Structure 1
């Protein structure tokens, strides 16, 4: 366990209790997340510097092997300042290696790891910052989940357990770190009982001073009393439970991150002696080419029909499918989305198992995967066109916008697949896809989705009526009504768009949105959209 780990756990838990507003998005989430990232970074940086200054690397490695119960390395209990030595202090024959002898490729690898970690940390912080600007709770929940995934990927490099483990490594390791924390507390107690007691008495004295003097000063001055009420969290019957939950979650996640840094999982590419003897049978060109070729032929036929429907318009669709154009769009979107996901699975399987020994194998693999990918991109575009057409006819909603954004992300993944065909190296694609998802989510937050939905519905309503072909009864006019009930369920993010409406629609929608905002925010829950709405 590194020096300062226990203090970092306590600081992270207290920061979460003081800053986090559990019931709504707010700036407190950003403050708590930044504090947790900061303490983890400081503890790990201090531990790594201590290891770099250690002269006797052989004795330190022996101490790790003798004391720790985690094979592969970790922080040495005998040296509180020791840093991770997982696989880095021993060579292939398990003999000690001088940690100061670092080659240029190793330095370059470490630089890439630091850059990757900095990238994921920046994404996590930006996603948490959404809570300070957007009031839509569903959007912030997605951003909070994305920040957790980015935080895990910042801590864990690509491991043998795969991307799914890497994405949720910190919360999983949070529970595994409990015995590790217990041993650390026991060591600290054995070494510093008197110091801990003195610090405890000092903390108790400080709390007593606050409990006595703050109420007296608040009673003496109304301005100071208002400041105290603004800073002090609201206390009710559920507050202790909330504090315990928030403290435990933040402290355990912080401990899980340091636990992974102390003993990182085995990196991808490393295999044990048994797995190294296993040789995976590869598929020949005939074995993977026949199903992939069949899929390509089906996609070519489907794309040809899409082009006919696109240029033929609603008349062609009504004659051939006996459906209105909007019904045709609605029925096809979900099937096309499923096709794009399933095709991605087929491509992943072919790339993982296809033989790539000869130049001809690699060339045909590139051709086959590229053909399916390009055709699937056309299908993705068709799905987006269908959803856009359906929304033009029946209105825009947040859910419909989300599925469109998801389909756009699928298109980005196919572009990454095409880029990976240049060198047939796909190991970077999964993390790049997750990164693209995080960037897409950030872009969605910047666009302000609820305001966008409100604006499109208002524009649609102000434009009047449209004409859509029926199923044999001739053309019929569809009156574009304004769904006041749906717009009233949106967050304050949509209020700038609502201001464009005339009365009484504007007043009814704005009043309903403001009524759902609840009480005035304290400083932890400050949010730009809610502040502007008040």
Structure 2
């Protein structure tokens, strides 16, 4: 079967899809991070591996490193309570899982989700292949029975209160929890379908090849050279301000205003470098020397701008306080700095086939590192340090943080401490976790927060 697409899903694939959906329906609580997400991720991974080994098809070469990233990102939900952080981890884990089965490429990053919606016929044919003979008439009989049951049952229920009470006890009601379970079953089953397809089917071959554009040296040296001169002029003029640590408010305004422009510049420059490295000729030693010199200079200058943007954001946070968005963009800038270092390394030897995969891996590692640092506690600690330094703090923003920030919020003086902690204390007490909803941050917060806090007497904290 090598090189040929199998027209229907094997029984092992059908079992993997059903198993993954069932585990997700039973274990997932989408409203909050918890242990159930990790259980579901492990179940999906195990089901897909078993399905791939039993299916008699040619599997593609797969990289287990991406699978490790996917499971590690989902595992964040068992340790951190921050919803925004876990949402980023889940979305990134879906990309990592797709890369694990479909290969390290732009197409591989989205192939599994796309397959989840476009390969349903594959599952349908697999189900049809194992159905017994005469199944159509059996299904028709089941449908007729259901219609009779609904029509006559509804009439009899409305005719007698005692029979109505009996039916209500026997027939489960469809509430929000049931709808959530069905939704989780469908989503997990669909994604497992996409993974199994990518893992068990041979890689599609593309006959259409783009013709390489041949540029003369002047055609790429001139625009890149102009950009290098522009960046050099900017860095030489702004270098003192980029790294000055000034505490007055006017500089903080300046830092905020300049940061976003610098962020866009550094991101766009990556695209320019990638395009130039692909289109520029490198047949002669002079071509390669020009390529190394100009792209190297552009990368180094961009790295300086990245460092300056990060320094501006740090000063701005010191002046105005730490928030989720500010921590995220600062993390993004630090990651962009790492990417530029990788670009410089690749440019030394003019070999960058390894670069896209490593860049994606560093992005996932950066997100995991952010989860390890506990960003919401970091935000709370930063705002409290600022409060001790200048006496200003946004209590209402602190009220919106998750249980991850609870240990830092204990540093607040009274009565602010009681007022800020009263809401998460009531929330944790009113919504206990089941075994599959276990979350280490919430468990630790429950361990030392008072279950019956004193009432907040500060009117500014009341809604």
Shared fold per TM-score greater than 0.5? yes
Displacement of 1:332 after TM fit?
0.5
Displacement of 1:271 after TM fit?
4.9
Instruction: Tell me which residue corresponds to 2:239.
Output: 307
Contact kept? 1:124, 1:150, Cα under 8 Å? yes
Contact kept? 2:262, 2:309, Cα under 8 Å? yes
Among 69, 79, 84, which residue is 1:138 paired with? 84
- Deviation string 1:366-392 (CA, Å, 9 cap, x unpaired) is 111111111001000000110111111
CA-based RMSD of the aligned residues comes to 2.4
Among 106, 118, 124, which residue is 2:70 paired with? 124
Contact kept? 2:243, 2:311, Cα under 8 Å? no
Displacement of 1:3 after TM fit?
4.4
1:20 aligns with 2:21: no
1:456 aligns with 2:382: yes
SS state at 2:131 partner: helix
Instruction: Tell me which residue corresponds to 1:183.
Output: 125
Instruction: Tell me which residue corresponds to 2:226.
Output: 294
Distance 1:504 1:241, change over 3 A: same
1:169 aligns with 2:111: yes
1:246 aligns with 2:220: no
Instruction: Tell me which residue corresponds to 2:407.
Output: 496
1:506 aligns with 2:417: yes
- Deviation string 1:482-524 (CA, Å, 9 cap, x unpaired) is 2111111100100111112221111111112233445111112
Distance between the aligned counterparts of 2:444 and 2:134, measured in 1? Answer: 51
Q: Compare 494-503 and 131-140 and name the one that shifted more.
A: 494-503
- Deviation string 1:283-302 (CA, Å, 9 cap, x unpaired) is 22211111111111111111
- Deviation string 1:193-217 (CA, Å, 9 cap, x unpaired) is 8xxx9xxxxxxxxxxxxxxxxxxxx
Displacement of 1:38 after TM fit?
0.7
Displacement of 1:46 after TM fit?
3.0
Instruction: Tell me which residue corresponds to 2:153.
Output: none
Displacement of 1:308 after TM fit?
2.7
Distance between the aligned counterparts of 2:199 and 2:297, measured in 1? Answer: 42
Q: Compare 510-519 and 415-424 and name the one that shifted more.
A: 510-519
Q: TM-score, normalised by structure 1?
A: 0.72
SS state at 2:30 partner: coil
Displacement of 1:240 after TM fit?
2.4
Distance 1:145 1:85, change over 3 A: closer
1:2 aligns with 2:10: yes
Distance between the aligned counterparts of 2:186 and 2:242, measured in 1? Answer: 56
1:520 aligns with 2:432: yes
Give runs of aligned pairs for residues 246-265 of structure 1, distance below 5 A. Answer: 246-265=184-203
Q: Structure 1 or 2: larger helix share? A: 2
Instruction: Tell me which residue corresponds to 1:103.
Output: none
SS state at 2:437 partner: coil
Distance 1:313 1:119, change over 3 A: closer
Contact kept? 1:17, 1:247, Cα under 8 Å? yes
Distance between the aligned counterparts of 1:408 and 1:133, measured in 2? Answer: 24
Distance between the aligned counterparts of 1:312 and 1:248, measured in 2? Answer: 54
Contact kept? 1:127, 1:442, Cα under 8 Å? yes
Structure 1 gaps, min length 5:
48-81, 87-112, 198-233, 466-479
Q: How many residues align?
A: 403
Contact kept? 1:2, 1:44, Cα under 8 Å? no
Distance between the aligned counterparts of 2:427 and 2:117, measured in 1? Answer: 37
SS state at 2:435 partner: coil
Contact kept? 1:152, 1:169, Cα under 8 Å? yes
Among 324, 341, 356, which residue is 1:430 paired with? 356
Instruction: Tell me which residue corresponds to 2:325.
Output: 399
Distance between the aligned counterparts of 2:397 and 2:243, measured in 1? Answer: 34
Distance between the aligned counterparts of 1:36 and 1:312, measured in 2? Answer: 51
Q: TM-score, normalised by structure 2?
A: 0.82
1:389 aligns with 2:321: no
Distance between the aligned counterparts of 1:29 and 1:408, measured in 2? Answer: 29
Superposition misfits of 4+ residues, deviation over 4 angstroms: 190-193, 310-315
- Deviation string 1:261-297 (CA, Å, 9 cap, x unpaired) is 222433xxx652x53xx63222222111111111111
Instruction: Tell me which residue corresponds to 2:40.
Output: 32
Distance between the aligned counterparts of 1:361 and 1:496, measured in 2? Answer: 58
Distance 1:10 1:293, change over 3 A: same
Distance between the aligned counterparts of 1:260 and 1:422, measured in 2? Answer: 35
Distance between the aligned counterparts of 1:405 and 1:235, measured in 2? Answer: 47
Distance between the aligned counterparts of 1:85 and 1:38, measured in 2? Answer: 16
